[in-house]
Each structure stands twice: as C-alpha cells, then as structure tokens.
Structure 1
C-alpha cells in the first residue's frame, strides 16, 4: 500500500517528503482529536486485521477493478461521512481505521526500482512542524521514541497490507468476488440502489470444497468472509443516519462509487 512520493498519492495526502534529521531535526508532531481530512470521505481502506472491529460499525465492501481492496463504508454516497462532522470531530463513536490513524505519515519508496521503504509525511499538514508543543521527532540527530513508535505503526500497517493482499488473492483464486448491489427500500417510490463495488458471491461460496473451507477455518480466512457478509446488514443503518443528518441521497439513485 506504499506509494512513491512522485506517484499518484493515496487518499488524504497532498504531498509526501521523507522525514530526515537534517531538514526536520527541530520538528515536532502534534496529537489531535479531529480528522478534517476524513470528514468528506465515505469509503476508507481497511486491512484484514481490522475486520473484527470494523464490522461492528461499518459495511465492509471491496473496491471494483482488478486490484480490489477492502473498504469501510462511513457513508453510502460520495462526500458523505455519517460518523465525522465537517470540522473532523467524531460525531458518532466508531472504530477509526488504521489508514486514518497513520496520517500524516506513511512508508513510501523513494526510488521506484527499490524495495526499501522510508518514513515520509505530508508537509501540508498542520500536525508536523516546528512547534512549541508536541513530541519531538528527533533527539541529538537520532529518531526519538515518538518517531520510532510512528515507524513501528507504519511497518505494522505495511505487514497488514500484505496479509490483506493475500486474502484478496485467495478470494480471486476461487472466483468469489462479484459486482455488488445494495438495495434500500424507502417508504414510497423506488428503492435506492448502490453499485460500483464488489462483494463475496454467497452462491459460489457454497460450492467451495470442504478441504479448502477447513483450511480457511484454520487460518482465519473464513471468519474474515463472515465478518464481511454480516457487516453488509449495517448498510440500512448508515442510510438511516444519512437521512437523519440531512445527507440523504437525491430522489434518483446514486452509486456508492466505492
């Protein structure tokens, strides 16, 4: 899930530069209880390690295309997040995906032909800089304990990303992903239909051989599939929250664009 600083940047990041003691020796990192970069995002990448917690709060779907990733739906329509207010305050208690918590840092390849990852940050953020308050990122020219913890978190995120890819590869191997469709009825008129994502095909899931299912049960993959399928029931709850917050869709159905 790492991206090169000069490549198309992932969600949230406006720019990306490597953290180093020469340029950033006096920099500090602030903590925050607000995530304004999340306020207008409705679909957030997840790792498989997060499924058990995420499925309690969000529908878990998969993005469309040849290289799908798991997504937590914090809203059903683009630009709508029913859990976070416009200023980034959490309006409704929920699990916060690791993808959100790692910002403004991430591991990235400085050279496209290298496998080495370096700790980088988004310089446009107001969470990293030469502040009076905050945790120092360097001490005597060396990474501080705060920086080491940030690095460990991002390294774990990368490892979780590799596990997530292995999970997706297994689903694709057995042709279990299909184009998804979620239909939500309303009191009158046609239901709202959401498309533009993928989900596990339950009919094909029934055809998976017993020895494969046993292996999945042993390695935990089966529980990930179950968490995904059960989480889809939360779609109606997310829809209801959109309506209650005045963020409901227009009369014409709109795709989730996940």
Structure 2
C-alpha cells in the first residue's frame, strides 16, 4: 500500500489511498455530528463559497504571506458557536466545503508526480467495514457514491486553485492589510481587540485606478471582495453568541492568529 502524504491539513489525522483491493468491503455511513469541527474556530473557504457563506460567517484572510480565506465559526481559538459539545449543529448555518469534504481528499502519493489520488482519513468513524452504510465498491468497481466523492474532491481542488489566484491578485494590487476589530461591550472599560488576520483595505479599494477597477469587476473579483467586507459585520454577532454560550474571551486579550489549512 502506498504511504500517506506528510504535512496533513487540519482535521486529518492520517491519510490512506482508497484501494479496491484493500477496501473492497468498506462502507460509508452517515453521521449526524462532526466532533472534529467543534473546537475549530476558523475553516478554509474557497471563493466559490463567498456569496453563500457571507450570510452566516465572517470571511477573513489568514495572516502571513501565504494568506488563505477563512470562515470564522468563532472568534477565539477552540470556540465554535455553531456546534454543541457533541459536534451537532445548533441551527442553520453555512458549512464550508472543506468540512463537507472530510474524511476525503485528493493528495499526491509520489513527490515526483503531479497525479492526485483519492485518499481518506482512516480514523474517521464514517468509513469502515460496517453492516450499515453505502458500499464504496461493487464487483471491484467504484460505486456511484465513490464516483460522486471523487467528483466533489476534484471540484474542490479546482475551486482551491481559483481561490489561490484570487488571493494573488489581491496581493498584486496591495489590497490586503492587517486587520483589527474592536468590540465594545457595555460594562467593560476596554474593548475586546481582535487581530492576527488580514482583510481588504477599503480605502485602497476606493482609490484603485479605473483600469484596475475595471479589471477586477470584469474578472468577478469585485462581488467577492464586497461579500468579504459585508461579512465582517457578523463578527459582533459571533462575539455576542460566544458570550451567551459562556465562551466569551478574557478582557483585554487579543485573538490568536487563525490556523491555516
């Protein structure tokens, strides 16, 4: 069996390539909880999801040179206001494709090849030799379920490539800046300050030359930028939900830098 790739992204404890020989009897069963997500406050997001996600989740960019868009499900590390202690959704929200993809992903098995193989996290409770669930293989061939999983992962990789290009263009236009959000709470002398992320600089966006503005409008970037900026208004709602759930931050503490994928 091929060895698993190193440098695993968040959520993944291990990776194995799916094999009709080794996993002929494996099934996929539906789970009503995502315990791996309940302590994760920031989740990678693709640009394809910005418009849908901005109704429910603040969209920020991770700090550092290699910024990636992140959907905030909490403002402090280890806090996710949308899931209960069992990892079940508390109510309606947008669940990022990165989460829905788990425990699957496409990965390189050989460093000298660009070929991607469908892999899975063997520690996931969704996959195994169960009595219940849908089979991954029938007569040695991938089932419709497995083919659908592969298509979803392929679409995700394509969206991730578009996201990388989007961020590179933001950086080329020097539109990303270090973000800071201050939330004043009644009864507290000092506001709660959140840093450690990046956001679009609205002043620089307004000052773009006509040709630059025309370019990002024609490329479809402008609506995505606006979705990101509009979503930041939700940070106060996330903060208030944390307080209501007894997960509010310590006064005067800065938010830690969100984890990257």
Give TM class, smaller chain: over 0.9
Q: 2:193, 2:252 within 8 Å by CA — same for their partners in 1?
A: no
Counterpart Cα distance in 1 of 2:20 and 2:67: 37
Aligned ranges 1:50-89 → 2 under 5 Å:
50-89=49-88
Choose 209-218 or 158-167, whichever is displaced more.
209-218
Aligned ranges 1:101-250 → 2 under 5 Å:
101-187=100-186, 188-250=188-250
The CA deviation string for residues 85-139 of structure 1, in whole angstroms up to 9 with x for no partner, is: 1211001210100000000000000012211000000001111000111111001
Partner SS, residue 151 of structure 1: helix
Listed as ranges, the gaps of 5+ residues in structure 1 are: none
Q: 1:77, 1:257 within 8 Å by CA — same for their partners in 2?
A: no
The CA deviation string for residues 219-256 of structure 1, in whole angstroms up to 9 with x for no partner, is: 21000000001100000000000000000001232314
Listed as ranges, the gaps of 5+ residues in structure 2 are: none
Aligned ranges 1:29-68 → 2 under 5 Å:
29-68=28-67
TM-score, length of structure 2 as denominator length: 0.95
The CA deviation string for residues 71-90 of structure 1, in whole angstroms up to 9 with x for no partner, is: 00000000000001121100
| Root-mean-square deviation (Å) | 1.1
Counterpart Cα distance in 1 of 2:32 and 2:214: 43
Task: Note the C-alpha offset of 1:33.
Answer: 2.3
Runs of 4+ in 1 over 6 A off after TM superposition: none
Partner SS, residue 148 of structure 1: helix
Counterpart Cα distance in 2 of 1:33 and 1:97: 16
Counterpart Cα distance in 1 of 2:241 and 2:131: 40
